[in-house]
Chains A and B, each alone.
Chain A
Amino acid sequence: GDSVTQMEGPVTLSEEAFLTINCTYTATGYPSLFWYVQYPGEGLQLLLKATKADDKGSNKGFEATYRKETTSFHLEKGSVQVSDSAVYFCALSGAQKLVFGQGTRLTINP
């Protein structure tokens, strides 16, 4: 079945550092790919998405490119802020349901 694998956390960085969170997937067909973010005590917020190969999703300085050849959708940000501290989930959409990775907890220190 469909699956998503994220880099293990937790990840701790200093403010203004470069961020990469790796995400790879296994799926039949051509799923849409998503990154969601969960702040403490809250639900999930959509961060960005890509619906086909080579699409780049971007939002709030975060970017991810849908790479069909490597079945990846890595999340990047050039300069993180303390306010980016949260749990990040990579997900794919298959058969009208989302399949999530295990989540990566990110902590940014000032």
Chain B
Amino acid sequence: EAGVTQSPTHLIKTRGQQATLRCSPISGHTSVYWYQQALGLGLQFLLWYDEGEERNRGNFPPRFSGRQFPNYSSELNVNALELEDSALYLCASSFIGQTRATNTQYFGPGTRLTVL
């Protein structure tokens, strides 16, 4: 069974540009989560999408946004890039179902974003 996939592997942008990162969840999973792993700041929750809707977001400015498509894949968009946006962006997926119970999140390999 294929795991969570992310593209691109690496992305280099300059300050002020926009970045688009993509994630495909494990087949059958309906929830997608985005996390930022910046040097020295650990792993921070960014966004949660379930069944095409944004369900929760972390403490990040509105220039971080995204969406989930009908096939449950997801995009993360970062507008007006700043130097401190340089980080590894990790996507995870899980299946929650009707009970809304907490389920295990499985991670992709990440996209390394470098802002120059």
Q: Mark A residues whose CB is within 8 Å of B.
A: 31-32, 34, 36, 42-46, 49, 51, 89, 93, 95-103
Contacts and interface: CB of A to CB of B under 8 A. Distances in A.
A32 B105 CA distance: 11
B72 to A, nearest CB: 15
21 contacts: A32-B102, A36-B107, A42-B109, A43-B4, A43-B109, A44-B90, A46-B105, A46-B106, A49-B104, A51-B102, A93-B102, A96-B31, A96-B50, A97-B33, A97-B45, A97-B58, A98-B35, A98-B43, A98-B45, A99-B45, A100-B42
Interface residues of B, number: 25
Nearest to A34: B104
Q: Which of the listed residues B31, B48, B107, B109 has the most CB atoms from chain A within 10 Å of its own CB?
A: B107
A98 B35 CA distance: 9
B42 A103 contact: yes
A46 to B, nearest CB: 6
A95 B56 contact: yes
